[in-house]
Amino acid sequence: MMDNDKIYDITIIGGGPTGMFAGFYAGLRNAKTQVLESLSELGGQVATLYPEKTILDIGGYPQIKGRELVSQLEQQLQTVDTEVKLNTTVQNVKQVGDEFKIVTNQGSSMSKAIIIATGVGAFNPRKLAVDNSEEFEGTNLFYSVKDLGHFTDRTVLVAGGGDAAIDEALLLESVAKQVYLLHRRDKFRAMEHSVDLLEQSKVEPVTPYLISQLDHDGQQVKITAKKMKSDEEKTMNVDDIVVNYGFIAQDDALAGWDVHPEGSRGKINSGISGKTNVKNVFTIGDVADYDTKQALIATGFGEAPQAVNAAMSSIYPDRRGPVHSTSMKR
Ligand SMILES: Cc1cc2nc3c(=O)[nH]c(=O)nc-3n(C[C@H](O)[C@H](O)[C@H](O)COP(=O)(O)OP(=O)(O)OC[C@H]3O[C@@H](n4cnc5c(N)ncnc54)[C@H](O)[C@@H]3O)c2cc1C
């Protein structure tokens, strides 16, 4: 089915936090905009991987839960006319004259500019390298904390040593009976602030160990962990294991697209204001790559208005650009 009546000014591909904010900002510019998201919900990594985590580095929010941030972004997006299409995966983008044909699993549409905000594309957790781990998945073994209530008064072992693992351990500490944090190194690789919080908490570090075996023990899991660079082993019984070894992302979210801006390792080279090497194709958020790029929500929030304004200047060169959303009159 082809949506012929409408040619969008801007199509935003990806409804993570960056795409959502870009969708709102494009609405402020009165751009005819659609946000296409392949999942059944908005919010990208925040909604799918860490809805319960408390985020500390969003300007204006001393702290905010992932789920709450997504809800605020949704409310903000609803204040403008931007269309949101869920369960809509972009499968191809073709150049048709000066415009783009966006081909999705739900049909196609035309757009004057596109902003690619596909983040890390489809991603899957890096799994625990233990033969029978799948037997425990969903009952005692988890790769993210979706329902904090499940862990109330339980004994939980978090495996991993980065920021996300520490955040999860601290979050679980608020409800669990006991939390262990198992890492294969002696030191944790996380923000100094998180490590300080960990040291002040009741989370018990188990280092330097690596999980080598899991066994059922009644309702619990018996973990065998091997000490690094040694033959020493330790066993411990816990109710749940939460593994945070990071995520494996799809190599190229744009695979098979006719319009394929330059980039490498699944990222798109971004110039100033999110410009790519293809005219009227912009990129923002985790997928956009340039020197000094930090893959953070705040970074994406900064990139979004720049790309929207650059897109609008390019497709409507005679329109006056914005200064800010409200203006002060003397
Ligand atoms: C565990 C963890 C904790 C984190 N904690 C923090 C933190 O505390 N603070 C912080 O600033 N950052 C944090 N981050 C990083 C932050 O989540 C990312 O920087 C942010 O999500 C990037 O947003 P995005 O919109 O660019 O991409 P994403 O959130 O990845 O969203 C991209 C969206 O595009 C969709 N998509 C992909 N391909 C297509 C397609 N072809 N068609 C349609 N839709 C498509 C995806 O389904 C997804 O919903 C954390 C990340 C992780 C994994």
Distance CA 130, CA 248 (A): 17
Cα of 46 vs centre of ligand 1, distance in Å, is: 6
Ligand 1 nearest atom to the CA of residue 55, by list position: 8
Element (H, E) at 64: strand 64-65
Q: Are 70 and 46 in contact (CB under 8 A)?
A: yes
What's the topology of domain 2-123+248-315?
Answer: FAD/NAD(P)-binding domain (3.50.50)
Compute the half-sphere exposure of residue 28: CA atoms within 13 Å on the CB side of its CA. 18
CA-closest candidate to residue 194, choices 173, 157, 166: 166
CA 276 to chain centre: 22
Domain residue ranges of the chain, discontinuous segments joined by +: 2-123+248-315, 127-245
Say yes or no: CB of residue 84 within 6 Å of ligand 1. no
The rounded Cα 53 to chain-centroid distance in angstroms is 12
Q: In the sheet that 233-238 helps form, which strands lie side by side, from edge to edge?
A: 209-217, 220-227, 233-238
Give burial (CB, 10 Å; 0-12/13-18/19+) of 307: buried
Please give the CATH architecture assigned to the domain spanning 127-245: 3-Layer(bba) Sandwich (3.50)
Q: Tell me how far the alpha carbon of residue 24 lies from the centroid of ligand 1, in angstroms.
A: 17
For residue 93 and ligand 1, the question of a CB distance below 6 A is answered with: no
d(CA 326, CA 112): 26
Q: In what order do the strands lie in the sheet with 178-182?
A: 141-142, 240-243, 155-159, 178-182, 204-206
Give, for ligand 1, the residue of 118, 258, 303 to mutate: max count of ligand atoms closer than 8 Å to Cβ: 118
State if residue 274 touches ligand 1 by the CB under 6 angstroms criterion.
no
Binding site membership of 312 for ligand 1 (Cβ less than 6 Å): no
For residue 121, the model assigns a pLDDT of 83
CA–centroid distance, residue 175 to ligand 1 (Å): 26
Per-residue pLDDT tens digits for 230-239: 999 999 999 9
Atom of ligand 1 nearest to the CA of 122: 37
Q: Is the dihedral of CA 52, 57, 58, 61 positive or negative?
A: positive
Q: Whose CA is nearest to atom 41 of ligand 1?
A: 90
Amino acid code (one letter) for 301: F
| CA dist., res. 1 & res. 3, Å (int) | 7
At position 330, the amino acid (one-letter code) is R
Q: Which atom of ligand 1 is nearest to the CA of 288?
A: 26
Residue 253, classed as helix, strand or coil, is coil
Report in angstroms the alpha-carbon separations of 193 from 57, 110, 242, 285: 12, 47, 22, 24
| CB of 301 closer than 6 angstroms to any ligand 1 atom | no
Spans in the chain with pLDDT lower than 50: 1-2, 4, 330
Alpha-carbon span 162 to 154, nearest angstrom = 23
- Ligand 1 atom having least distance to the Cα of 50: 1
What is d(CA 188, CA 271) in angstroms, rounded to the nearest whole number? Answer: 34
Question: Measuring CA to CA, how many Å separate 235 from each of 150, 221, 227?
Answer: 24, 10, 11
Report which DSSP code applies to 106.
Answer: T
201 pocket-lining for ligand 1 (C-beta < 6 Å): no
46: CB partners within 8 A, 6+ apart: 16, 17, 55, 66, 69, 70, 297
Residue matched to tokens 């194709």: 281
Q: Does ligand 1 come within 6 angstroms of the Cβ of 39?
A: yes
Residue 21 to residue 18: CA distance in whole angstroms: 5
Ligand 1 atom 27, closest CA: 119
Are domains 2-123+248-315 and 127-245 of this chain identical in fold?
A: yes
